[in-house]
């Protein structure tokens, strides 16, 4: 009886850990989709505009990103064919750091 109880306790701990990991994977996938949306916008404008920066920040915060940094992101307009970069750094779940980098070419 004791062995069965310990086994159930161990399985519960494993399941809770798995659920936490899966939720982080889903959050990271959501961040990746948001980044893709904004790199496509940047392709058409040649930069990350102030309005898009505020909207991007709001969407990422809604997705659960904390300690958000957009350092390295193209904020000055580049010419047609120039390289644009969207670099998002932050934390998910309050303790897991991530970096999402998208690079493309301006097509405006």
| Number of structural domains found in the chain | 1
Average pLDDT, the chain: 93
Question: Locate tokens 């809770």: which residue?
Answer: 16
Quickly state the pLDDT bin for 91 (edges 50, 70, 90): very high
* Cα separation, 61 vs 63, whole angstroms: 5
CB 40 within 8 A of CB 52: no
Cβ count within 10 A of residue 39: 20
Q: Name the token pair of 40.
A: 């496509």
Output the pTM of the full model. Answer: 0.85
pLDDT in tens, 25-78: 999 999 999 999 999 999 999 999 999 999 999 999 999 999 999 999 999 999
CB 48 within 8 A of CB 20: no
CATH number for the domain harbouring residue 56: 3.30.1300
Boundaries of domain holding 93: 2-105
């Amino acid at each position: 009886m004791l062995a069965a109880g310990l086994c159930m306790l161990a399985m519960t701990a494993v399941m809770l850990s798995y659920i936490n990991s899966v939720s982080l994977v889903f959050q990271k996938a959501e961040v990746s989709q948001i980044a893709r949306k904004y790199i496509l916008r940047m392709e058409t404008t040649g930069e990350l505009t102030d309005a898009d920066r505020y909207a991007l920040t709001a969407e990422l915060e809604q997705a659960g990103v904390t300690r958000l940094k957009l350092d390295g992101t193209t904020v000055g307009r580049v010419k047609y064919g120039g390289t644009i970069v969207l670099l998002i750094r932050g934390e998910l779940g309050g303790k897991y750091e991530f970096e999402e980098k998208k690079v493309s070419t301006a097509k405006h």
